[in-house]
DNA sequence: TGATGTGATCTTGTATACAATCTATCGCCG
DNA sequence: CGGCGATAGATTGTATACAAGATCACATCA
């Protein structure tokens, strides 16, 4: 929203980010058809940059762009969701394995600082704040892997799973459990134990039977009460 | 090139594929600036679909699209290349691990058929044909993982690494070694041994010290004799 | 002689106009 | 009364026009 455009970022880039945000936060629901003209009008630009933004989103898999049929937000099936989490778990595990071997002292320091920040949010019982700081924690692990490409891929998928990840905090005492798991992850990385770090991060991603079922159940609950899902996600 | 357009594929989609092909096969060299007007003229369309194609390529990381500076093909550093292969190895390993547990009899049959086809090309000493069939072999492994999302990610990265993978066959008796490795992969998958399949696939990707150094060396050799690289890659 | 500033030209980014195709409504026929 | 087809409206895809910024060359000055 800040109009301080010191660096003239490409218009379609900004648009992509804004539309992305609305999809990821659930303002635009799955199944919604995004009308180019409406978007153009609502953002005060012509259709051209809107189209370019949509193409970028389609390339990232966030929307489904079928020829002559327009852009629709795909309804992510439970199966598809499971697949994505399965990959996410492995990418995180890989980051952890590499980080345990490659992390620098200053990076470890920053990771621990991020963990302490999470601790504060946890103690304060503030899930929203915890959610935010959790993102930072994971970002630090990605960086510590010292594989830039891997970090980008992990961050991209992380973003795409954001709505579901957030949802997950609604499950009873997920925050506490998550915090415990972070502890284990840090310890493994600090100890330079790659396999243990990988295992800890893999376990940290919600794909194991119960947790994933919880997630899907919560999702169905939200969908059942048709529209409020957007508000609930925000 | 076939004009049998029964299904009206989007124009920018076709363009993306064609430009992608030229990048991946080395017709357009790293460092090249892709001029929108030139591309439009050479494909006989206006700048609009060309731009849309470029945006897609940029989203996939195949080109670098900087605001007001145009599209340039990034010079992939050895470090970056190593990072990408490191991720590729892990994705392949994951496919193998899952495939060992989930492959169906008919899929295993097809995988073995693909392997036999590779054998024929190997015996005939035809690296070009082997290269092509090798792609099919890996595609079968992706499918057998029964994780559609993973399969897509793996295929996308596979495509992006295509030029280098191809280059690698120039190394002495790489084809023979590759073939041996396929054998081991198939055996592990058929035996349902996920960890062994994962290890075999991880080892199959050229990132280990010597092989990777060979690759980079070959690359430098080609770059040294400036332009012929394109021809050599094709 | 080299560096810096200014202007011309070229390229990208955005808007608008037009063409092609898809959807939906209405009417017709069984 | 229901199903099918044609036409009108709307929406996407492509082309073109115009605006804004970047590059490069040239000239001027130290």
pLDDT digits 0-9 by tens, B45-77: 999 999 999 999 999 999 999 999 999 999 988
User: Whose C1' is closest to the CA of B39: which nucleotide?
Assistant: C11
Element (H, E) at A68: none
> Among residues A188, A47, A198, which one has the least CA distance to residue A111?
A188
Q: Which of A62-71, A86-95, A102-111, B94-103 has the lowest mean pLDDT?
A: A62-71
Q: How far is CA B124 from CA A219, B120, B167, B222, in A?
A: 55, 6, 20, 27
ipTM: 0.87
Q: Work out the mean pLDDT of chain A and round it to a whole number.
A: 88
Show the tokens assigned to A227.
């529209």
**Helix, strand, coil % (nearest 5) of chain A?**
70, 5, 25
Mutate to test the interface with B, among A90, A96, A142, A195 (most CBs of B within 10 A): A90
B36 CB contacts (<8 Å, ≥6 apart)? B47, B50, B51, B54, B70, B71
Asked if B149 has any chain A CB less than 8 Å from its own CB, the reply is: yes
> Among residues B113, B118, B27, which one has the least CA distance to residue B73?
B27
Q: How confident is the model at residue B194 (pLDDT cuts 50, 70, 90)?
A: very high
* Cβ atoms of B57 and B19 closer than 8 Å: yes
Asked if B55 has any chain A CB less than 8 Å from its own CB, the reply is: yes
| Residue with CA nearest to D12's C1' atom | A68
Show the tokens assigned to A78.
């439970």
DSSP tag of B2? -
Task: Judge whether residue A234 has pLDDT over 70.
Answer: no
* Cβ atoms of B197 and B189 closer than 8 Å: yes
Taking CB atoms and an 8 Å limit, are A51 and B52 in contact across chains? Answer: yes
Nearest CB to A147: which of B51, B52, B83? B83
Task: Judge whether residue B204 has pLDDT over 60.
Answer: yes
Return d(Cα B16, Cα B19) in angstroms, integer: 5
Q: Which of B16-25, B51-60, B200-209 has the lowest mean pLDDT?
A: B200-209
Chain A nearest-CA residue for B49? A52
Task: Judge whether residue A33 has pLDDT over 50.
Answer: yes
- Chain A residues touching residue B83 (CB < 8 angstroms): 147-150
User: Whose C1' is closest to the CA of B40: which nucleotide?
Assistant: D15
Q: How confident is the model at residue A7 (pLDDT cuts 50, 70, 90)?
A: very low
Nucleotide C29 C1' to residue A32 CA (A)? 37
| % residues pLDDT > 70 (chain B) | 89
Element (H, E) at A70: strand A70-72
The counts of H helices and E strands in chain B are 12, 3
Which domains does chain A possess? 11-72 (1.10.10.10), 78-228 (1.20.120.530)
Q: Residue A224's pLDDT is what?
A: 63
Chain B nearest-CA residue for A51? B52
Asked if A150 has any chain B CB less than 8 Å from its own CB, the reply is: yes
Taking CB atoms and an 8 Å limit, are A148 and B83 in contact across chains? Answer: yes
B233 CB contacts (<8 Å, ≥6 apart)? B25, B26, B163, B166, B167, B222
B75 CB contacts (<8 Å, ≥6 apart)? B30, B31
In this structure, the number of other CB atoms found within 10 A of the CB of residue A37 comes to 10
The CA-based dihedral angle spanning residues B75, B77, B80, B82, taken in that order and rounded to the nearest 10 degrees = 130
Task: Name the packing angle between helices A148-160 and A11-24 (round to 10°).
Answer: 50
What is the mean predicted confidence (pLDDT) over A122-149? 94
DSSP tag of A76? -
Q: How confident is the model at residue B116 (pLDDT cuts 50, 70, 90)?
A: very high
What is the mean predicted confidence (pLDDT) over A66-74? 92
> Among residues A79, A142, A66, A64, which one has the least CA distance to residue B10?
A66
Mutate to test the interface with B, among A58, A147, A157 (most CBs of B within 10 A): A147
Taking CB atoms and an 8 Å limit, are B86 and A8 in contact across chains? Answer: no
What distance in Å separates residue B9's CA from the closest CA in chain A? 7
Q: Residue B56's pLDDT is what?
A: 96
* Cβ atoms of B154 and B62 closer than 8 Å: no
Q: Residue B223's pLDDT is what?
A: 66
What distance in Å separates residue B117's CA from the closest CA in chain A? 30
Nucleotide C4 C1' to residue A11 CA (A)? 33
Comparison of pLDDT for A167 and B161, the residue scoring more: B161
The CA-based dihedral angle spanning residues B100, B102, B157, A141, taken in that order and rounded to the nearest 10 degrees = -80
Task: Name the packing angle between helices B78-102 and B194-204 (round to 10°).
Answer: 150
Q: How confident is the model at residue A214 (pLDDT cuts 50, 70, 90)?
A: confident
Query: Which residues are paired to A33 by β-bridges?
Result: A72
What distance in Å separates residue B12's CA from the closest CA in chain A? 10
The DSSP-derived string for A123-178 is HTT-HHHHHHHHHHHHHHHHHHTT-HHHHHHHHHHHHHTHHHHHHHTTSTTHHHHH
What is the mean predicted confidence (pLDDT) over B160-173? 81
* Cβ atoms of B107 and B140 closer than 8 Å: yes
Element (H, E) at B193: none
Task: Judge whether residue A186 has pLDDT over 70.
Answer: yes
A90-114, pLDDT tens digit by residue?
999 999 999 999 999 999 999 999 9
Hits for CB < 7 Å against strand D across A residues 91-130 = none
The DSSP-derived string for A79-97 is HHHHHHHHHHHHHHHHHHH
Q: Identify the residue whose tokens are 């970022």.
A: A9
* Cβ atoms of A141 and A201 closer than 8 Å: yes
Asked if B159 has any chain A CB less than 8 Å from its own CB, the reply is: no
Query: Which residues are paired to B65 by β-bridges?
Result: B71
What is the mean predicted confidence (pLDDT) over B154-159? 95
B209-230, pLDDT tens digit by residue?
677 877 777 777 776 654 444 4
In this structure, what are the phi and psi dihedrals at residue B33, rounded to the nearest 5 degrees?
A: -100, 125
Q: Residue A62's pLDDT is what?
A: 94
């Amino acid at each position: 929203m800040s109009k301080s455009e010191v660096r003239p970022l490409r218009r379609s880039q900004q648009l992509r980010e804004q539309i992305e945000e609305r999809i990821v936060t659930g303002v635009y629901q799955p199944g919604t058809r995004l009308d180019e003209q409406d978007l153009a009008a609502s953002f005060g630009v012509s259709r051209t940059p809107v189209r370019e933004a949509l193409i970028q989103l389609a390339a990232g898999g966030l929307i489904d762009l079928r020829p002559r049929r327009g852009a629709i937000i795909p309804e992510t099936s439970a199966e598809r969701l499971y697949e994505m989490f399965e990959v996410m778990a492995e990418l995180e595990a890989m980051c952890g394995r590499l980080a345990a071997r490659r992390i620098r002292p200053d990076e470890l320091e920053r990771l621990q600082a991020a963990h302490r920040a999470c601790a504060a949010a946890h103690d304060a019982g503030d899930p929203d704040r915890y959610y935010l700081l959790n993102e930072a924690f994971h970002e630090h692990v990605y960086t510590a892997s010292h594989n830039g490409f891997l970090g980008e891929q992990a961050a991209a998928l992380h973003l795409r799973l954001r709505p579901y990840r957030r949802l997950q905090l609604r499950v009873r005492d997920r925050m506490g459990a998550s915090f415990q798991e972070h502890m284990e992850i840090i310890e493994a990385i600090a100890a330079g134990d790659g396999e243990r770090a990988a295992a800890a991060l893999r376990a940290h991603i919600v794909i194991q039977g119960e947790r994933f079922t919880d997630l899907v159940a919560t999702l169905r609950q939200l969908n059942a009460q048709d529209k409020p899902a957007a508000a609930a996600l925000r």
